Amino acid sequence: NAGVMQNPRHLVRRRGQEARLRCSPMKGHSHVYWYRQLPEEGLKFMVYLQKENIIDESGMPKERFSAEFPKEGPSILRIQQVVRGDSAAYFCASSLLQAGAFFGQGTRLTVV
């Protein structure tokens, strides 16, 4: 029973490029969450999605960031025109019900 799968594990982008981070939730889980961890900080909530719906995006930056969880396929966190300040570890979590989220290994984004 595979856990939450994130890819890639490491991603390097030049300033101005786009970054696409993928998350496949645990089998049967329909709730997906994205969190960001900046260096020396805790995890910060970004967005909460269910299939084809954004439930809570209160933690998403207003510009350049978007997320989706299509009916088929993984959830995608997309960052357009990346800047150095976007360098962080991005974690995806999934849950069957609303509590007890299980996390993936994360994607470490480095913007050069």
Partner 1 sequence: DQQVKQNSPSLSVQEGRISILNCDYTNSMFDYFLWYKKYPAEGPTFLISISSIKDKNEDGRFTVFLNKSAKHLSLHIVPSQPGDSAVYFCAASENQGGKLIFGQGTELSVKP
> Which parts of this chain interact with partner 1 (CB under 8 A)?
4, 6, 31, 33, 35, 41-45, 48, 55-56, 58-59, 91, 93, 95, 97-106, 108
How far is residue 27 CA from its own chain's centroid? 17
Task: Output 55 or 83, the one with its CB closest to partner 1.
Answer: 55
CB of 43 to partner 1, least distance (A): 4
We find the least distance from the C-beta atom of residue 20 to partner 1, in angstroms, to be 19
**Closer CB to partner 1, 6 or 24, in the complex:** 6
Nearest distance from residue 49's CB to partner 1, in Å?
11
Q: Cα separation of 107 and 100, whole Å?
A: 21
Residue 42 CB, shortest distance to partner 1, in Å, is 4
Give one DSSP letter per residue of 49-99, joined into a string: EETTEEEE-TTS-SSSEEEE--SSS-EEEEE-S--GGG-EEEEEEEESSSS
**Residue among 82 and 104 whose Cβ is closer to partner 1:** 104
Q: Strand, helix or coil at 45?
A: strand
Alpha-carbon distance 91 to 81, whole Å?
Answer: 20
